[in-house]
Amino acid sequence: MKNLMAAGTKCLLIHPWVSKNCLLNYPEVCTLTGAKFPTPPLGLLTIAALLPDKWELKLLDANVETMREHHFEWADIVFTGGILSQQLEILSIIAQAHTHGKKVVVGGLDPSAQPQIYKEADYLIVGEGENTIPLLLRDLENGLETGVYSSSEKPEMRDAVVPRFDLVRHQDYLMMGLQYTRGCPYNCEFCNVIEVFGRKSRPKTTQQVLKELQTLYDLGYRGRIFFVDDNFFGDRQSVKDLLRAIAEWSRSRRYPFFFAASATINLADEEEILSLAQAAEFRYINFGIETPDNAVLDTMQKKQNLNRSIPETIRKFSEHGMVVDASLNLGFDGETERTADSMIRLLQESGISMALVGTLFALPGTQLTKRLISEGRMKDESIVQKDRELDVDHMTSGLNFSTLRPREEILQDYINVLAAIYAPVNYYERVLRTGLALKVSGNYRPTPNMLLKNFIVFLKVCYKAGFSRKTGKLLWKTLFIILLKNPRALEPVTSLIAMYSHLYRNAHQTIGLTKKKLDALEQLS
Ligand code: B12
Ligand code: SF4
């Protein structure tokens, strides 16, 4: 075997292709803004930073650039990995690398949850890279041909390195991702990330985060930064210091960035954190609502959501300049025939425009999956992807277990919810509600180039939606009211309107697929 630890080893890191059918891929919005994909693969950029300086690295994002033979010919070793939706692609990359006689290292969430599926990989990383890549490099040094690496300890984020942001062209992406913490202190039964990253929030230090921001700034990036943490605000104490520091850092650089992050719904009770987040230019927040039913929330162990008024919660975020998007699912145990209607009402009343509604998917390794297997409602834990276009997420392949409520009823409710919330009149009603309630602080300063780009996007959105029979009247009415009553909300409102072309297409595609599933069930009965 070639000495892979030699200077000049050529390492190709491949981010596998992801289907445009994934709800969170928004190709329409990417096209509108000239981007090719939502965010760069932060996992691979982080792994890249852990590899020897003497290696030559190339990152190939197959969602941005077509993967070709010459890429494999160039490489001495290939690194790849990702999530369940990328399973078939990862397996195909392993096969292609082997055809070219190259060694492959595989890691990421799906290989960590289902290592048995990736047996063909030469080296397999199970879990996080920070404490396993050194073990892999030691074995490469010793000439070992294969290996599986895992660690019972979770790495301290205080030792984490700055991801190699320089390996991607930021112009190819809608936003850049940054990570502050791993792990989440809550215990939702269906959650797969607590199984991999643990139930303790492990934050980086404030200095580390500022260093990462400075790196992006020095690389010339400006605009939206998405904190990819599952629960950015999980460590209530340290996040306050970080938010103060980000506000200070941003002020001294004329606010080059604004931020998006994930939270839990009970953040609405933390007035001080909300104010600090607003001052630091946090403008988009997402969280899991899951279901409107308290009893169902209790069963799924989502205690932090119990007995809360969602419209009140959303108002709190709007008052602090934050647009909320939320995810919900159908198919939980304990749901009734009234759940779907309550869901639609809740979304309309709270004005959550981007509502990511799916059907429950039991992921490998979760408490939910273990319970379903013990109750005889799921055969085994392995999830094998069959169709790379369709078998991609909880929108297309959820309910992978025996449901308590008749499956036909859940699927019909799913169709009804999607059709209702993404009907033009209802979507625009929610956008208007959000736009009127939003108190935008407006410190963020786009560069002249970005202002021009935003203006062009605005014109494109007006042209596309404003002259369509479906949305024309609604668009002009919404813009007119916003300009009259809350002009500072024009930018987020335009973003939500731009997002509609994707959400509408995706909802109708999902409705079509769900109808096919219903027809198939009918034929069986
Ligand atoms: C940011 C994010 C996104 C972003 C960007 C995704 C991207 N392509 O980079 C957006 C919003 C676009 C997105 C979309 C989707 N996402 Co997403 N996303 C996340 C999130 C919140 C953070 C991922 C991240 O960047 N982490 C930070 C990096 C540093 O950590 P990491 O990737 O885990 O990497 C570490 C290790 O895993 C390992 N590692 C990772 N890769 C590799 C590779 C090699 C070779 C090696 C050795 C090691 C290794 O080392 C790293 C350092 O320790 C996760 C939740 C989570 N905690 O994982 C969900 C998550 C990954 N997403 C998920 C899903 C389902 C999706 C969608 C399918 C949703 C949808 N319905 O459309 C789409 C897929 C489309 C897409 N574009 O990828 C699920 C995946 C479930 C699963 N097990 O398969 C997660 C876990 C959310 C959840 N709670 O269920 N997502
Ligand atoms: S709050 Fe989110 S990240 Fe935390 S356990 Fe629940 S689903 Fe998982």
Q: How far is the CA of 17 from the centre of ligand 1 (A)?
A: 13
The pLDDT of residue 388 is 82
Q: What is the pLDDT of residues 277-315, one digit of tens each?
A: 999 999 999 999 999 999 999 999 999 999 999 999 999
Positions of the chain with pLDDT lower than 70, given as ranges: 392, 394
CA of 47 to the centre of ligand 1 (A): 14
Closest listed residue to residue 62, CA positions, set 118, 121, 106, 18: 18
Q: Which of 332, 329, 328 is closest to 377 using CA atoms?
A: 332
Residue 393: per-residue pLDDT: 78
Distance CA 234, CA 237 (A): 9
Tokens standing for residue 202 = 């492990």
Given this model, what pLDDT does residue 445 score? Answer: 85
Atom of ligand 2 nearest to the CA of 264: 1
On the CB side of 279, CA atoms within 13 Å amount to 17
Handedness of CA 282, 195, 396, 264 (dihedral sign): negative
Predicted local distance difference test score (pLDDT) of residue 125: 98
The closest-lying atom of ligand 1 relative to the alpha carbon of residue 84 is: 84
Rounded to an integer, what distance in angstroms lies between the CA atom of residue 165 and that of residue 167? 5
Pocket test for ligand 1, best of 190, 228, 368, 513 (most atoms within 8 A of CB): 228
Smallest CA separation from ligand 2 atom 1, residue: 186
Residue 500: both structure tokens together: 């509609």
Task: Give the ligand 1 atom nearest the CA of 130.
Answer: 53
Residue 52: the pLDDT is 97
pLDDT at 397: 80
Looking at residue 386, its pLDDT comes to 87
From ligand 2's centre to the CA of 77, what distance in Å?
A: 35
**Which ligand 1 atom sits nearest the alpha carbon of residue 42?**
25
On whether the CB atoms of residues 491 and 455 are closer than 8 A, the answer is no
- Give 309 Cα–ligand 1 centroid separation in angstroms: 30
Nearest CA to ligand 2 atom 6: 188
Q: What is the pLDDT of residue 21?
A: 83
Per-residue pLDDT reduced to its tens digit, 358-392: 999 999 999 999 999 999 999 888 888 888 887 76
What are the pocket residues of ligand 1 if the criterion is a CB atom closer than 6 Å to any ligand atom? 18, 22-25, 38-39, 41-44, 46-47, 79-81, 83-85, 105-110, 113, 125, 128-130, 177, 179, 192-193, 228, 230, 363, 393, 395
User: Tell me, what's the pLDDT at 2?
Assistant: 80
Q: Residue 136 CA: which ligand 1 atom is closest? A: 47
Contact between 211 and 161 (Cβ < 8 Å): no
pLDDT for position 141: 95
Q: Give the other-Cβ count within 10 Å of 150's Cβ.
A: 14
